[in-house]
A = this chain, B = another copy of it.
Amino acid sequence: MILAAASELFAVGGFSQTSVRSVAAAAGVDSALVHHYFGTKDELFLAALALPLDLRVAIRPVVEGPLEGAGERMMRVFLGAWEQEPVRLRLLGLLRGSIEPQGARLVQDGFLRIVVRPVIDELGADQPDRRTALVAAQILGLIMIRYVLMVEPLASAPVEEVVALYAPILQRFLADPLPPG
């Protein structure tokens, strides 16, 4: 199974340490077959995550609009995904593994590299590394409290309320001048 091999190798070695060739070898097939069925290494990685939505499509509305309002659009995309039960259950499974070193790489390689960083880059603000870390921290904290620990009243708060609380902070980290650092 190509996907099972990819999933295991990405989890152990991280995205950068894993090659399509090594996945093919582990699955006992030729690299060309992996490329034929799964395309690029990015696409193979996303397929191995087995998410019931395409993250790269889901984040398009964030970058296909003015810089103004990007924080609010990002919150809506993010909550829109997490509020769907099949997506939430799969993401919670991935997150549970993220506390261990292997799973931590999945969050770094998947969430930060495939979701957050491209948004920051396309929006074009300065200090992209710093903004990526800050936006990721903001979203991970909300995930922990709302979906993992389920702390009330944030766990049951309507999506619009969470957007109102978080959009200004995300907007600041995505686009506004940051303090020196």
Query: Which residues on A are within 8 Å of B, measured CB to CB?
Result: 95-96, 98-100, 104, 107-108, 112, 129-130, 132-134, 136-142, 144-146, 148-149, 151-155, 157-158, 161, 164-165, 169, 178-181
Contact = CB atoms under 8 A, between A and B. Distances in A.
Contacts of A153: 129-130, 133, 181
Contacts of A148: 99, 104
- With most chain B CB atoms within 10 A of its CB, the pick from A100, A139, A141, A146 is A141
Nearest to A112: B151
Given A129-B153, A138-B138, 5 more contacts: A134-B154, A137-B144, A137-B154, A138-B141, A153-B181
- With most chain B CB atoms within 10 A of its CB, the pick from A112, A130, A181 is A181
B134 A165 contact: yes
8 contacts: A96-B100, A136-B141, A137-B144, A137-B145, A138-B141, A140-B141, A153-B181, A164-B180
B140 A154 contact: no
A181 B152 contact: no
Nearest to A179: B164
A180 B157 CA distance: 11
B179 A161 contact: yes
B98 A149 contact: yes
